[in-house]
Amino acid sequence: MAEPSTHGESLLFLTDENLRKGIEAMFFAYRGFTADPDRILADMDYGRAHHRAVHFINRSPGTTVGNLLTILGVTKQSLNRVLRTLFDDGLVEARVGKQDKRERHLYLTEKGHTLERALSDAQRARMRAAYRAAGPSAVQGFRTVLEAMMDAEQRRQYQGLKEGST
């Protein structure tokens, strides 16, 4: 309904109908986005929470527990439960900080890297297929819209992570 008649200008992409389609696209696409890692994780008694932890430790080796808390946006109790199983299973190791010995710097072990690679290979494969099918300019638009959709706080982290590794 509404379907405003074409009045020269093109704000047609902002109709409620179009926005609703975007919303559902996010919903369904996110399911696809997590489906492959989820399958791998299910076979090993891990969940998405483990995936997220492993991902961000891999991408910022030596990050502290506090950093991880901020990025993941969960409580320390929740994160700690996950980290403990990763320690116990020998996927992640924590080294006491040199400068500040209260901090724990987190690193993937060899075993941890293996899992990380399995998970991100699966996820990247889907991403790559989607990117290839859509083409470079669509990918550009995809990233632009997603970035605009983030909270300012999240965008800061997303962009901050872009360059500074350690």
Partner DNA sequence: AAGATACGTCAGCCTTGTTGACATTCCAAG
Partner DNA sequence: CTTGGAATGTCAACAAGGCTGACGTATCTT
Q: Contact positions toward a copy of itself, by CB under 8 A?
A: 10, 12-14, 16, 18-33, 35, 52, 59, 73, 120, 123-124, 126-151, 154-155, 157-158, 161-162
Spatial strand order in the sheet of 104-108:
63-64, 104-108, 92-96
113 binds, among DNA, a copy of itself, none (CB under 5 to 8 A by kind): none
Task: State the Cα–Cα distance between residues 157 and 128, nearest whole angstrom.
Answer: 23
Considering only the stretches 12-20, 76-84, 141-149, 151-159, report the one whose residues sit in contact with DNA under the rule CB under 7 A: 76-84
- Contacts with DNA in 99-118 (CB under 7 A)? 99-104
131 binds, among a copy of itself, DNA, none (CB under 5 to 8 A by kind): a copy of itself
80 binds, among a copy of itself, DNA, none (CB under 5 to 8 A by kind): DNA
Rounded to the nearest angstrom, the gap between the alpha carbon of residue 82 and the centroid of all alpha carbons in its chain is 17
Q: DSSP string spanning 18-58?
A: HHHHHHHHHHHHHHHHHHHHHHHHHTTT--HHHHHHHHHHH
Considering only the stretches 21-29, 72-80, 120-128, 141-149, report the one whose residues sit in contact with DNA under the rule CB under 7 A: 72-80
Task: State the Cα–Cα distance between residues 31 and 37, nearest whole angstrom.
Answer: 11
Rounded to the nearest angstrom, the gap between the alpha carbon of residue 66 and the centroid of all alpha carbons in its chain is 18
Which residues here bind DNA, judged by CB under 7 A? 45-50, 52, 64-66, 69, 73-84, 94, 96-97, 99-104
